[in-house]
Amino acid sequence: MTRATTPPAPARPGSSAVDRAADRLRTAARTGTPCPPVRDLIGTDDVDLAYAVQQRLVEGRLAAGARVVGRKIGLTSPAVQQQLGVDRPDFGVLFDDMDVSALPEVPSDRLIQPKTEAEVAFVLGADLAEGLLDVDQVRNAVAYAVAALEIVDSRIAGWDITFGDTVADNASSGLFVLGERRLTLAEFEPVDVAMTMRLGGDVVSTGTGAACLGDPLVALGWLARTAADLGDPLRAGQVVLSGALGPMVATPPGSVVSADLGPLGTVTATFSGKGQA
């Protein structure tokens, strides 16, 4: 439910570009009113500045009492990269209040302009902090996997984003729903998963595990190495959303979206109606 764009917040005297970008995104999240892109402050592809803004926002959430439960990998699917005009993966942080799996409805009032994509979610049974962090180590660290719907959202008006914009905005994170069927990696291969996603009964997205950086486990390995290099490695018990297996679709209030991920079963999200909590 996109609202009118507000002008950029005025800069505080002496504040840095990172501070100003974080303030702009934080205000949009708090008010539910999308803001202009932040690339005027941090550039379109300055990775360090973009992640610095993301970290500033993460620190604010932690200070307010939120708890990190995992990470999301974004921009892994060529179809989604094409949709958003970007050409490389990114990652964001998952907080405990983003998991709405146990709720009867996805609270649309917490979202601004949501889109949904189907993914494989990994739950780690071991840390991924040291070593080569190669495919074998990553595979052995996975306790189980489930089907997932990631409800991505953007604080930036009209999804007018570059790589820098989406990274700063916590990789356009919103909410997520996890399926109930748990499989170990001895029971299925993520790369072979075939996905069909429906909106109100109509097929709106299809794809396979191979669309996710060639293999969702490759995406998980990329994240493990990146997170370890940044000094904040993946830990046992965390959830990792692998990235989309196919194109995302807009899911406004009242939407019902479901995805069938073959051996992982089906996961469904019913969005509350407009104005409902």
**Domain-located, residue 154:** yes
**Domain-located, residue 25:** no
Of 50, 89, 71, nearest to 228 by C-alpha is 71
Provide the CATH number for the domain around residue 111: 3.90.850.10
Tell me if 126 sits within 8 A of 261, measured CB to CB: no
Place of tokens 């914009």: 165
Range of the domain at 190: 68-270
Q: For each of the chain's 277 residues, which pLDDT tens digit applies?
A: 333 444 444 444 346 999 999 999 999 999 999 999 999 999 998 989 999 999 999 999 999 999 999 999 998 877 777 766 777 789 999 999 999 999 999 999 999 999 999 999 999 999 999 999 998 999 999 999 999 999 999 999 999 999 999 999 999 999 999 999 999 999 999 999 999 999 999 999 999 999 999 999 999 999 999 999 999 999 999 999 999 999 999 999 999 999 999 999 999 999 999 755 4
Q: How many C-alpha atoms does 170 have within 13 Å on its Cβ side?
A: 26
**Domain-located, residue 29:** no
**Domain-located, residue 252:** yes
Indicate the number of domains in the chain: 1
Task: State how far the Cα of 258 lies from the Cα of 266, in Å rounded to an integer.
Answer: 7
Q: Tell whether pTM > 0.85.
A: yes
3-state secondary structure at position 268: strand
> Cβ atoms within 10 A of the Cβ of 276, count?
12
Task: State how far the Cα of 9 lies from the Cα of 21, in Å rounded to an integer.
Answer: 9
Phi and psi for 258 in degrees, rounded to 5?
-140, 150
